Structure 1
């Protein structure tokens, strides 16, 4: 079309081969890139909640959690735009733009003279995470095709959250040894430089793989076909389609409780007398179990279906949060972190795969972006809700309230989501 900026459809001249084995080198490169994306986020998990109270003397939980609110809102918005922009301009330029947005973040965290700098840095970090993580998801879906979508999402999310876990543990050590600033954030700066370099020099465009899949893929039963506007995709993903909307609300609640864990758990543990090193171990255990277990749960959902993995995973998360609310020792909280990681691993890659199952390849990138908009709005909702309840009634009550919300979300998935949406993809010739 004259004047269009949409990437040309190369499928008309050559048909890319879909599949994990056929695209293994690029797939594993994208796994490594997403590990660096996760590490960029992990630089904050242990240190920032302590920085809020010790360096900036923020007493109210709602004030301390403003950085998560800022991060969640900006990341949610960029998730939406990542899908739309990657359809219009291609995947790689969006991935590069995400890394560029992260460049100032470590310096701002190191030099921040006031809490407003921290909040602004997290707006930029949210923009970066929305563009980079969403695009890495979309590119892996492009490469592998329909047969191994759960496995691909398991690898993607495992890499990202193992990156979060390893960095949370490392920054806890660095903060204990060298102080809260600057050492922990220098690690984040190294991740950003490496991720940008790999993306520019080695990552290849994958949009043509999506074109190839779209040319021979009907819509899954119960979903719509290829010719949808962005507004129609938003409505379908958010409300109208039973499976897509059930996944979107579950994603929101999942990250609501992750925002709680990120912002309030370190404060709860510090208030009980745990040292920075112990807090770092718990902060790392949750995403480490979450990350590693996704290598199993993503692939298992390819075989046994998405619905019951998601519903059961939300209930396991609810039980883990109840354990945190009732706990008072390092051992109890470490056990709860492990259970929370298992529950989240059951949900996280499976939700993404369920979106890919139902969404047609022609609008799948937009559906992924919209799902991730809702999911990462949970960070903001969790920071606001948990902070307000914690200010009024204390952190254990806030954790218990979020546990109840998480359990209700699992029941919604059990009632609303269709049970066989992964089957059409598995049955393709």
Structure 2
């Protein structure tokens, strides 16, 4: 049984461990306990993404996402360099392949400049200087985008937090949360943990943890699976760095993009489809409980009515490798179906409001002894260091007020 007078963090993904690390740095001597249901950190969203350090070009000026991404990208590069974590500042291209995309591309240029991001507009011949095999009618080069190993970042944060006195407990699935004698009591299958403040960084299960504390958040996690391929070694030279399409502003996903990672492999994706479980990394993984809760939430059906045409295309690409290849060929005409090798999928914890609106920014909640992170969308991994400090600030304020 852990003692009270502590901050207890649920979730050992990159946000939870960044929070624990920030608390140990901001308030040395504070008791910090991190509970994680898996046997090691970074097993879900943190360890299942394309490893991109985002620049912040996509995000509305003044939003938390814009501020945290720009600040976080610089901090993440510095953190990786200081701790010998594989990383590279590669820059990336955002490429228009149709004239209808040009207004959106120009809007991104303006947004990038408002966010203080170095951008350069390119004509087709200049695209070829960066990516000889990519085709487009115009593009933007974003200089501050990079790649890193976010799993290694998270493991480093765990080590640094432990070195500063934090306690990490793996294999601890939270079953119940109660308040007793001015303390928060968190129960797992065979142990109780007592703390003064609880921080919910449970990612795919954050809304469930919030409900265990008595909060009734006006959102629900609706899981979307991101499906990836990687280029076969014989075709890997088709891509030098990072190449993205012009995103559809009506949907929160960036479309099928090309990413050369720190290991030299080229990931292509994701294709975003509804997942049949919160940890549903393939079509065969089905959770009746997750499906029932998702189906019972009004926002699920409202988002389906709003975006059903988009999702039909995503499902078609999920079920047909040739359809997926055609989407890739818009950017990379030389790629063939046999060049694509299935790679590991990820699941995005998308917060959806009751009216079917997709929560687009970071969403924090909680009063008294609770701090909840209810939406941490991309660029959460990029921005994890400043986000961790913000969550730590809220937790320490709650601790001081207790």
What TM-score bracket applies, with the shorter chain setting the length?
A: under 0.3
TM-score (norm. length: structure 2): 0.24
Higher helix share: 1
Q: Which has more strand, going by share of residues?
A: 2
So what's the TM-score if we normalise by structure 1? 0.22
